[in-house]
Structures are given as C-alpha cells and as structure tokens.
Amino acid sequence: MINQQILKILHAGALRKPVVECAKLLQEARPELKFQLESYGSRACARQVREGKVVDILALADPMLFAELLGPEYVDKYYIFANDQIVLAYNEFSRGSREINARNWFDILLREEVTFGRSNQHLDPCGYRTLMVWQLSEQYYGRPGLFRQLDQRCRGDLIYPKSYDLASDVLVGKLDYAFEYLCVVNQFGLSYLSLPEKINLSNPAHVNYYNRSAVSLQGKNSGDMITIPGAPIEFAIAIPKNAENLILAKDFLDLILSKKGQQILEDCGLIPY
C-alpha cells in the first residue's frame, strides 16, 4: 500500500536549498507530511527516471533534459521557473584570489600551483555549461587555444559528479576555484568572480552569441552522441507520469511556482520567472 504522506523528490544538486526550504514550508501546513529527497547531476537524475525510478517531483537544471531524455514517455509537461549564471567560485585562501578579475581569471587558473574544478558534462548540466563558458571565453577574449588549455588542466579527480560537491571542496580548500552556479555559491557563502554576460550564459538577449558554443554528450541510447548548443541557464520542474502521490506533488509544484516559492528561489540566489 502506498504511503500517501511521503513525497519523493529527485532534484539537481544545485537546487538543494530551495527544495529543502519549500519542503519545510509545505510541512508547516501539513506536519504529517514526510519528504524523501535525493540529489544528483541533472542528467543522472533524468537517466534514473528513464531506468524506472519512481518519484513525485523531478527538478532539473536544464529544461532541455525533459525534451531530450524524458518526453513524452516519462514526462509530458514541465515548468521553467528560474534562471542563473556561471561564476568562478573561490575562498579567501584560494591562490591568486587577491588579484583575480574578469580580465585575467584564465591566466590565474593556468598557473601551475592553482587547482580548479568543474562537474562532469555527461552527468551534470553545470559541466557542459562550463565547457561552453570556456569556448565562449576563447572567442570573447581573443585567446586562441584557451579552451584546450583549460580543458587539459582540468582532468581526472578535478571533474566532479555534480556541481554541489564542487562548492563544498572550494569551501574547505581542496580546490582553489570552481565553475559554479551563482545560486550554489550563495548557498555556501563563497566568494566569486562574476564573468561577462556574453560568456556566463545568464542573459537571453545573448542567446545567439551563446549558440556559438556547443558540447557533445552521451545521448538517450547507449553509444549515441548528441550536440548541445549554448543557451541561457534555466531550471525546470515536473511531475513524472508514474508519480505515486499526485495531490502532494501538485501542492509542492504550486508552492515553488507561487509568490512564496519565488521569494525562496530569490533568497537562494536564483532569478525566478
């Protein structure tokens, strides 16, 4: 028998704080309600649902994933609710942090003693968005070969399953820098460098410029590859078709899309729609 008081939520790691805060708010009105929260990179989340995982709410860091991996078999409707940007996160002890700025950040990162990380593009949208930022930076700054230089320096254990883990390692000093969503940086209280709008994937007005970048990823089926063009960063949420608790899921969805939900999103560093 299904427990009607447990709401299962699978979400992008970057959305951890807003999801938790919305869950708390809903629980205040319904004390008997319990939540089962799990977070991974958004592509990993989508693949879990494709492989049969049953959840009531699915919140991802790229609406494209619903169309690419989940629709229409697993999800028939999704809602885009916020946008964000890529920033360069660091802490007060990060090497080069006292001199880094929007004109020299790549030179700082390429120093031998400096470490920087990103998330895995096959598991997490922040990973492929970081690669797009590097591609756009090569064009924006007129630095031929910059993408290849950054890519060669950021390999192996410097590539993480999800962006949320990057921030925690910057916080404790395991990494000097990380390419991260601004909302995650705010959740951890990290310092950060804002990047120019033409490369940080924040502004829909620059969509044509963002389209100059593209990343190849594993597709829906094993062995398939797809090419993802650069685009403004957006977050989206849906109730999967196999959700067990539709009423509770609708309550949570309505909350995150409401004015109260938008305030929570804004407090967590996102720009609500």
pLDDT in tens, 81-125: 999 999 999 999 999 999 999 999 999 999 999 999 999 999 999
pLDDT band at 4; cut points 50, 70, 90: low
Fold held by 86-216: D-Maltodextrin-Binding Protein; domain 2 (3.40.190)
Query: How confident is the model over 136-179, as pLDDT tens digits?
Result: 999 999 999 999 999 999 999 999 998 889 999 999 999 999 99
State the pLDDT confidence band at 2, using cuts at 50, 70 and 90.
very low
Say which CATH architecture domain 6-82+234-272 belongs to.
3-Layer(aba) Sandwich (3.40)
Asked if residue 55 has pLDDT above 70, the reply is yes
Q: What value does the mean pLDDT take over residues 11-31? A: 94
Q: What is the pTM of this model?
A: 0.92
C-alpha span between 104 and 125 (Å, rounded)? 25
* pLDDT of residue 1 exceeding 50: no
Counting residues of the chain whose pLDDT is more than 90, the rounded percentage is: 91
Where in the sequence of the chain do the CATH 3.40.190.10 domains occur? Answer: 6-82+234-272, 86-216
CA angle, residues 91, 96, 99, in degrees to nearest 5: 105
Rg value, the chain, Cα:
19
pLDDT of 222 > 90? The answer is: no
- Could you tell me if residue 269 is left (phi over 0), alpha (psi between -120 and 50 degrees) or otherwise beta? left
CA–CA distance, 269 with 219 (Å, rounded to integer): 31
Report the C-alpha gap between 159 and 140 in whole angstroms: 24
Instruction: Identify the pLDDT of residue 132.
Output: 99
Indicate the helix (H) or strand (E) that contains 249: helix 246-257
- The mean pLDDT value of the chain amounts to 95
Cα–Cα dist 174/217, whole Å: 28
Phi, psi of 103 (to 5 degrees): -100, -20
What is the pLDDT at residue 99? 98
Rounded Cα–Cα distance for residues 148 and 113 (Å): 18
pLDDT at 261: 97
